[in-house]
Amino acid sequence: MKFVPTPLGGAYVIELEPSFDERGFLARSWSAEDFKERGLAAKMAQCSISFNTRKGTLRGMHYQSEPHAEAKVVRCSAGAMYDVLVDLRRGSPTYCRWFGVELSADNRKLLYVPEGIGHGFQTLTNNTEIFYQISQDYRSDASRGVRWNDPVFAIDWPIANPILSERDRSFPDYTP
């Protein structure tokens, strides 16, 4: 695996390094030792799948509050998505900045999301499926979010007029 740093400290795009033969390829997509060597969360407590039937579906921007903050490894297993991170770590040099990257079944990239980062995505195709590895079990009492179109972050989403849940639409304005 190749860990490519993003502009947000501690967040990485992970590129697979496949070994090819006449059958196809084999590539490692997880190694606790490789994550631990970089100081990243190496223990994953939960895996989840998000399936989205319609292009333009937007989920986010979500995180869990302390002491239940979570790190994630995100991969698009079918279709394509624009994955976005927002730095919500007060005191971070990139506080309130965002980063986006396309993850798809074709490019097979993964994204490491460190604790304290808001996460969301917008589907670029119908029938997009996302696989998450998560360092903490989900806690509804710790579930938080910031609005996808909050002017503080000014995220440049690829598809206008997204399909949203009422919850994601109604997060309050963020106060830095």
pLDDT digit string, tens, across residues 27-59: 999 999 999 999 999 999 999 999 999 999 999
Helices marked H in the chain — which ranges?
32-37, 166-169
Tokens matching residue 71: 């790190």
pLDDT in tens, 2-35: 999 999 999 999 999 999 999 999 999 999 999 9
Sign of CA dihedral 165, 167, 168, 172: positive
List strand residue ranges (DSSP E) for 30-123, in order. Answer: 46-52, 58-64, 72-78, 80-87, 98-104, 110-113, 117-123
User: Is 68 known to be catalytic?
Assistant: no
The whole-angstrom distance between residue 70's C-alpha and the CA centroid of its chain comes to 11
User: Is 62 known to be catalytic?
Assistant: yes
Average confidence score pLDDT of the chain: 97
Q: Which of 62, 68, 95, 174 is the catalytic position?
A: 62
Residues 80 and 128: beta-carbon distance below 8 Å: yes
Overall pTM > 0.75: yes
pLDDT bracket for residue 116 (50, 70, 90): very high
Q: Which of 68, 95, 132, 174 is the catalytic position?
A: 132
All structural domains of the chain: 2-19+27-169 (2.60.120.10)
